[in-house]
Structure 1
């Protein structure tokens, strides 16, 4: 990290400072980061030993009148000191990815909003998935555009009838709620 001020102690992440701004405000806290390109200091107000919520300030260095070095605290980003179980984090990440993939599979590509609404309604009572623009119900019955009971094909006669009945109820409910036909 580049120094904020030249000469003397280099001001780096972890330093405890007292800063006086050009507006006369005095801030005490710890340096979290410094970006020399934008000339912005990320500063956590409050002394490290103070518990509870603290403010994070982004200070444009042009508005800093004076800096007093008060000491050095531990690096706030020293992850080795944190009690983190990487296996748990990796499991959470994998679970979140699987969940996102599952949710993405439930969104039809190239289908109307009405078709997606029908899919969502059918999915509440029956197992469904998309095959391009066709809704596949119970891995055997297919519902194609325009997603009417007459559009239901395939599957056993009992499964076909069940899907037609559910689809009729879904469409009636959509009509009474002001949805499309």
Structure 2
């Protein structure tokens, strides 16, 4: 693997850099940060979901990059200081930690992978969700028992049960579709973080 000489130099904030990873993925973006000791480069580019209020942020280990090229050099610092929304990042960290705790609790209870996936699917839209042993409890009133199918959704009020059944039904349809769709390639591409 050959890394170009630019890696040994510093990248200027605001410059545009193009990289080719060892997985042949090409990433080009604006330099947010560079640590020459660890050879870690942080690039910002427009959001992959086309939302103008968001950006994709790639953290790149230059030790795993086959090509690096500065496509646009910026010698003076940008007029507007670059900053990250620390409050938003802290909330995301707390949410990720809580999600990992829930997964650990599910693993300790011996919950099947299907149950874990359903739990995560529901938790994306409903935050009042918890494990009760191997059962999924939503709003403390709706319980989903193994094997986590539509017939396993019980509780009150009926409106809440009906809503959760729709969520479970959508999840089961999505799972069936994803299992019938062949996957392409052996290695997943790195997914960017959106801020």
- Report the TM-score when normalising by structure 2: 0.40
- Return the structure number with greater relative CO, CA threshold 8 A, min gap 6: 2
Give the greater-gyration-radius structure (CA): 1
